[in-house]
């Protein structure tokens, strides 16, 4: 990866996803260029539906990314771009197709339709969070898909719950059931999958586990939501700066994501 591409990807993540930026900086230097390219892709795709009120333009922006991933998957010439170019050096054809599903799922953000049902919501989380972290982990090393997807589901739910106030302010319906008891149940279910993933930590190599450092706040956020679900709507799922950084450093040093 060219230094200017690495710097561009790092800056995109720093601006658009500061928590993941910290997590990548806590990883080994050898893992950073892989993670920055994949997470920069995620930032660009995640914000594509929100930069315009015109649905057709938003669709075109997402299609641009689908076309770029198709080029990577086909193994031929790939367009020159500060994110696409380094991404093409880091992922396989199969991983490009997994990321394509991330782009497809992000079409939900363009419109104001609610999720059809719980299965639709869970598929959205699995595609946007599960596919992303699976690609990131496997681009680094050996990683069991089921373990990564369990962890990614929990991380995705935690991030989603933190985003709910903003999503509602933008006219979206982010939950199938927004009652406090349903929110608490959702958080508890995610905690169970987090527990399952961590019980099988040995099925993810230490080098691949660096991709999962990005979910270092997951347990704390989910526990808050499970205990006091009313905090979700108020945007009060927060952890102190000291607790955030000390927890990340501890996990990075021990490898116990």
Kindly tell me if the per-residue pLDDT of 233 is higher than 80: yes
pLDDT value at residue 2: 86
Contact by Cβ (8 Å): 137, 131: no
Q: What per-residue confidence (pLDDT) applies to 236?
A: 96
Same domain, 122 and 243: yes
> Is 90 exceeded by the pLDDT of residue 35?
yes
Residue 71 region by backbone torsions, left for phi larger than 0, else alpha for psi between -120 and 50, else beta? alpha
Total residue count of the chain as it appears in this document: 257
Boundary (domain end) residue, out of 91, 111, 131: 111
Between CA 44 and CA 71 the distance in angstroms is 18
- What is the torsional sign of CA 12, 17, 19, 20? negative
Distance (Å, rounded) from C-alpha 242 to C-alpha 253? Answer: 17
Question: What whole-number distance in Å separates Cα of residue 125 and Cα of residue 154?
Answer: 9
pLDDT tens figures, 96-123? 999 999 999 999 999 999 999 999 999 9
Q: Answer yes or no: are the C-beta atoms of 135 and 39 closer than 8 Å.
A: no
At 1 the pLDDT is 77
Expressed as residue numbers, the domain containing 54 is: 1-111
What was the pLDDT predicted at 41? Answer: 98
DSSP for residue 207: T
Q: If you average pLDDT over every residue of the chain, what do you get?
A: 97
Percentage of the chain lying above the pLDDT 70 cut: 100
Same domain membership, residue 196 and residue 116: yes
pTM above 0.85, yes or no: yes
Residue ending a domain, choose from 71, 86, 111: 111
The mean pLDDT value for 178-203 works out to 98
pLDDT for position 221:
97
**Banded model confidence at residue 238, pLDDT cuts 50, 70, 90:** confident
Same-domain check for residues 171 and 49: no
Q: Which residues pair with 143 in a beta bridge?
A: 204
Tokens coding 74 = 């086909």
* Number of domains forming the structure of the chain: 2
If asked whether residues 74 and 119 sit together in one domain, one would say: no
Last residue of a domain, one of 111, 128, 150: 111
Q: What is the mean pLDDT of residues 131-146?
A: 98
Same domain, 205 and 134: yes
What is each CA distance from 19 to 55, 101, 102, 137, in whole angstroms? 29, 23, 20, 17
């Amino acid at each position: 990866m060219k230094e200017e591409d690495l710097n561009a990807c790092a800056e995109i993540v720093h601006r658009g996803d500061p928590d993941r930026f910290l997590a990548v900086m806590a990883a080994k230097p050898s893992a950073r260029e892989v993670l920055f390219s994949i997470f920069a892709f995620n930032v660009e795709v995640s914000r594509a539906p929100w930069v315009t009120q015109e649905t057709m333009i938003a669709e075109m922006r997402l299609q641009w990314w689908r076309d770029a991933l198709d080029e990577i998957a086909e193994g031929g010439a790939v367009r020159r771009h500060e994110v696409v170019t380094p991404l093409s050096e880091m992922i396989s054809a199969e991983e490009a197709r997994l990321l394509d599903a991330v782009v497809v799922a992000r079409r939900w953000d363009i419109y104001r339709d609610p999720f059809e049902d719980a299965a639709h919501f869970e598929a959205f989380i699995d595609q946007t969070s599960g596919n992303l972290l699976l690609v990131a982990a496997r681009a680094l090393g050996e990683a069991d898909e089921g373990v990564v997807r369990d962890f990614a589901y929990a991380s995705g739910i935690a991030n989603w719950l933190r985003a709910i106030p903003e999503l509602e302010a933008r006219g979206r319906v982010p939950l199938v059931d927004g009652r406090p008891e349903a929110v608490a149940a959702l958080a508890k279910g995610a905690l169970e999958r987090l527990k399952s993933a961590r019980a099988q930590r040995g099925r993810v190599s230490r080098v691949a586990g660096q991709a999962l450092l990005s979910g270092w706040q997951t347990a704390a956020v989910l526990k808050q939501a499970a205990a006091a679900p009313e905090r979700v709507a108020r945007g009060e799922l927060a952890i102190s700066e000291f607790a955030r950084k000390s927890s990340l450093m501890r996990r990075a040093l021990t490898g116990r994501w």
